Amino acid sequence: MTSLASKTRILVVGNGMVGHHFVEQLHQSSDNVDITVLCGESRLAYDRVHLSSYFSGASADDLALTTADVYREWGVNVVTNAIVTDLLRDEKKALTEDGQVFPYDKLVLATGSYPFVPPIPGNDQEHCLVYRTIDDLIAIENSARESKVGVVVGGGLLGLEAANALKEAGLETHVVEFAPQLMAVQLDETGGDVLRSKIESLGVTVHTQKATQVIEAGEQSRYRMVFADGTFLETDMVLFSAGIRPSDQLARKSMLALGERGGIVVDDNCLTSDPDIFAVGECALWQNRIFGLVAPGYTMARAAVSALTGGDTVFTGADMSTKLKLMGVEVGSIGDAHERTTGAQSYTYFNQPEGVYKKLVVDESQQKVLGAVLVGDTSDYDTLLQYALNGIDLPENPETLILPSAGAAPALGADALPDTATICSCHNVAKSDIVSAIDEGCCSLSDVKSCTKASTGCGGCTALLKNVVDSELEKRGVEVSKAICEHFNHTRQELFHIVKVNGITSFDELLDKHGTGLGCEICKPAAGSILASVYNDYVLKQEHLPLQDTNDIYLGNMQKDGTYSVVPRVAGGEITPEKLILLGEVAKKYSLYTKITGGQRIDLFGARVDQLPDIWEALVKGGFETGHAYAKALRTVKSCVGSTWCRYGVQDSVKTAIDLENRYKGLRAPHKIKFGVSGCTRECAEAQSKDIGVIATENGWNLYVCGNGGMKPRHADLFATDLDTETLVKYIDRVLMFYVRTADRLQRTSVWMDNLEGGLAYLQDVVMNDSLNINADLEAQMETVVGAYQCEWKTTLESEASRKRFRQFVNTDGTDTNIQFVSERGQVRPATELEKSKGADNLIAVDVI
């Protein structure tokens, strides 16, 4: 350790994430310091990055970064509820509001920032809150108990995090943003539009280009927000998250140099205009910039420690790239996302149906990455970031880095990264640091995290860190864990085996006996899928309910305007006139948009959540069943008319399609499954683009497996020829159950088979030759699933408690008045925000006839 002068007194004002990191780094770097920390809150440092997890079950202790015992062990004196009011710079003393005096030799200001509240009349009322601290969360929680509707003012990163908090608290949630788009700093216009669409599809209403003029008493809700354009929005709670301002009041009072718009001016060593005072984090202004992410703050803290201990680390700015999940929506932004660099050019990929947008910004020579925008899919983020940070030359066709089916440019693997590549920007951990940690004895991802602190900040580098660690361990002959997540040291395949062999019937039992912690967004739905695949139990039982996503919870796909689709099963595409008439009557009664799909079903769109039980009651009574369009399960079995009608047909494809659909309906799997059955080789049912394809021959059926359409189309492989119907069904039973048992989570059949060692030939050997001696078990498991089938909507309708969950709001029978439609081509469609605000001529409010 480097020594300072004997027992130099270091006083740290502020104990946020950056202040705590400074203390931790200084403790590790010098043993000749006497550290005192003045913490303005009642709690010691905690994780502000993941504040919204408080509303999904995390406690204040879960968010804590340290404890009084840890500081005591380090020899750090810490005082909570210590608000510093004055600095006596000449005497080197800090005074607190309760009269305490703290002397120092060196002072570190880590006072952070405070939330900006726009100067709007009425912004100081009881239920007008901010989102910054755990105390703020408690206030929001208390307000939510008395509220139905909540509005977040601010559509930036923090605003959307706050919106997630309100949504988690069970409120009807709105976001009001002054700018024309969401996250205008990180995303371009198209990226902002895609993000808006995805967030609105989750039930959060977004209002852009809105300037609030006053918050006054409401008529239907507690408050009314009146906007400059004459419109208004009623709400019970207003949550301000419109940006931050540096907490520089103490520095201002002490006559330290400040920026024109605030912030404590610092140099590369994070020294202020006083040579004995440092400033780090969001209160510090470096080259006229405030850095509002945790990673730059940590870098500042390390620079300050280096200056104090005689090191040569300085602060030279920071990469502001970010990857995060907002309400489950993946978002990434790298470097020059707005193409502001002279000569910059861009490649874009936009898959509107899937809600995926990617933009790659390159230099004029198309040799280097300048920036990127990713919305809906951030799987390319780590690769693109390393290209950008390390100046790696682009491949011959740069667009292949973001285009899913462009062919061949590979992701940048761990081995391709230079040793100097930064893996974790929060803690400044390079690839070489990870390699050194492994060489010094770290044998797991958790060991490397503990040793280097990588991925313990914002967490955005987790996937890349795992790739590097796995690669380095495998080089050394260490078996790498394939654990599904941190809560289960098992793969999905192993969890399936555990559930089946041990007769485990609930997630709580699985977690108690074979896992740790509380579970997460990875293992919960995976376990829910496994339990459904093994037992085909009602997925909305109380013990299974927390495992389901929004679509499964409401047994329907949520659409962009917050309404739901109604998709009855039409086995094989065959439907009677009576059922057609019933669908028409239901669609007419509830003013639903009606469309015949490529999967030979009829989709009905635009149903409010409170209408779903009544709609399905009519459909179930008329003989329909759920179509599982919301589930990772069998969706459809498409067929042609076959030998019954077609002069080319050689087998009855309709009957076979209906029999197969009725057999496998309700089968839950790692991903959705589609079948096709064609009555001859003309292939009118497009069976070779399906997970299971069946094509008639003169001698029986040809079976194709593991194809799919979608973003990455793949033709199915011919598995067996000229099968009789009984053998066909046996083979399908075995293939599907082997897939359900061994695939990774969210893995399509095509990817699953490609990843099997031996591919198609291996699968044929397992299914046709019983090489693993498991076929009897696979068939028996399928019979269990088939025998346990139930229409989930029929079961739901039979329970009054289940029906209550379909109320629009928890504490009222009212409906969402923001759901509005316009008439187009003789049907309804969701109204745009512009049409709603201007009151378009064809705007209609839909009520049941």
Report the pLDDT value the prediction gives residue 843, as an integer from 0 to 100.
62
Report the pLDDT value the prediction gives residue 651, as an integer from 0 to 100.
94
Check if the beta carbon of residue 485 is closer than 8 Å to that of residue 466. Answer: no
Rounded Cα gap, residues 680 and 41, in angstroms: 74
Give the single-character DSSP code of 234. Answer: E
Report the pLDDT value the prediction gives residue 813, as an integer from 0 to 100.
61
Residue 418 has, within 13 A of its CA and on its CB side, a CA count of 11
Q: Rounded to whole angstroms, what are the CA distances from 658 to 573, 640, 653, 665, 696?
A: 8, 11, 9, 10, 15
Report the pLDDT value the prediction gives residue 837, as an integer from 0 to 100.
67
**Cβ-Cβ contacts under 8 Å for 461 (sequence gap 6 or more):** 382, 423, 424, 425, 426, 454, 455
Residue 662 has, within 13 A of its CA and on its CB side, a CA count of 11
Report the pLDDT value the prediction gives residue 846, as an integer from 0 to 100.
47
Check if the beta carbon of residue 268 is closer than 8 Å to that of residue 303. Answer: yes
Check if the beta carbon of residue 117 is closer than 8 Å to that of residue 21. Answer: no
Q: Which residues of 454-476 are buried (b: 16+ CB within 10 A; e: fewer)?
A: bbbbbbbbbebbbbbbbbbbeee
Count other C-beta atoms under 10 Å from residue 113's C-beta.
20
Three-state SS string across 697-716, please? ECCEEEEEECCECCCCCECC
Check if the beta carbon of residue 626 is closer than 8 Å to that of residue 568. Answer: yes
Q: What phi, psi does 503 have (nearest 5°)? A: 65, 30
The letter for the amino acid at 6 is S
Q: Which of 407, 382, 384 is nearest to 396 (CA)?
A: 407
Q: Which residues of 673-695 are buried (b: 16+ CB within 10 A; e: fewer)?
A: bbbbbbbbeeebbbbbbbbbbbb
Question: Can you read off the two tokens belonging to residue 410?
Answer: 């590979």
**Cβ-Cβ contacts under 8 Å for 767 (sequence gap 6 or more):** 719, 731, 734, 735, 738, 775
What's the burial of 339, exposed, middle or buried (CB within 10 Å: 0-12/13-18/19+)?
A: middle
Per the DSSP assignment, residues forming a β-bridge with 129 are: 239
Report the pLDDT value the prediction gives residue 783, as an integer from 0 to 100.
95
Q: Which residues of 343-375 are buried (b: 16+ CB within 10 A; e: fewer)?
A: eeebbbbbeeeebbbbbbbbbeeeebbbbbbbb
**Cβ-Cβ contacts under 8 Å for 693 (sequence gap 6 or more):** 675, 676, 677, 678, 687, 703, 704, 705, 707, 716
Counting as low any pLDDT under 70, the low residues of the chain are 1-6, 56, 405-413, 457-460, 481, 711-712, 808-818, 833-834, 836-849
Count other C-beta atoms under 10 Å from residue 320's C-beta.
18
Is 680 annotated as contributing to ligand binding? yes
Q: What phi, psi does 379 have (nearest 5°)? A: -65, -25
Rounded Cα gap, residues 143 and 127, in angstroms: 6
3-class secondary structure, 282: helix
Rounded Cα gap, residues 822 and 841, in angstroms: 9
Q: Which of 679, 728, 738 is nearest to 704 (CA)?
A: 728
Question: Can you read off the two tokens belonging to residue 238?
Answer: 């207003």
Rounded Cα gap, residues 9 and 274, in angstroms: 16
Chain-centroid distance, C-alpha 418? 30
Q: Rounded to whole angstroms, what are the CA distances from 740 to 503, 748, 760?
A: 17, 10, 16
Q: Which of 378, 382, 351 is nearest to 369 (CA)?
A: 382
Check if the beta carbon of residue 16 is closer than 8 Å to that of residue 110. Answer: yes
Count other C-beta atoms under 10 Å from residue 816's C-beta.
18
Q: What is the pTM of this model?
A: 0.57
Report the pLDDT value the prediction gives residue 840, as an integer from 0 to 100.
57
Report the pLDDT value the prediction gives residue 491, as an integer from 0 to 100.
87
Question: Can you read off the two tokens belonging to residue 344?
Answer: 């910059």
Is 646 annotated as contributing to ligand binding? yes
Chain-centroid distance, C-alpha 412? 23
Give kind and range of the element (H or E) at residue 63.
helix 60-63
The letter for the amino acid at 600 is Q
Check if the beta carbon of residue 390 is closer than 8 Å to that of residue 421. Answer: yes
Question: Can you read off the two tokens belonging to residue 463?
Answer: 């996937």
Chain-centroid distance, C-alpha 659? 38
The residue written with tokens 């399905």 in the block is 616
Question: Can you read off the two tokens belonging to residue 813?
Answer: 């029978």
Rounded Cα gap, residues 414 and 543, in angstroms: 41
Rounded Cα gap, residues 427 and 298, in angstroms: 6
Per-residue pLDDT of 684-720, as tens digits, reads 999 999 999 999 999 999 999 999 877 667 889 999 9
Rounded Cα gap, residues 808 and 734, in angstroms: 42
3-class secondary structure, 113: strand
Per-residue pLDDT of 522-566, as tens digits, reads 888 899 999 999 998 888 888 888 888 778 878 888 887 778 889
Give the single-character DSSP code of 105. Answer: S
Count other C-beta atoms under 10 Å from residue 589's C-beta.
14
Check if the beta carbon of residue 165 is closer than 8 Å to that of residue 131. Answer: yes
Per the DSSP assignment, residues forming a β-bridge with 79 are: 38
Check if the beta carbon of residue 534 is closer than 8 Å to that of residue 496. Answer: yes
Chain-centroid distance, C-alpha 617? 34
Where would I find the H helices in 266-376?
A: 294-309
Question: Can you read off the two tokens belonging to residue 5?
Answer: 């002068």
Length of the chain as a residue count: 849
Per the DSSP assignment, residues forming a β-bridge with 568 are: 626
Per the DSSP assignment, residues forming a β-bridge with 332 are: 323, 374
Question: Can you read off the two tokens belonging to residue 411?
Answer: 């992701």
Rounded Cα gap, residues 154 and 149, in angstroms: 16
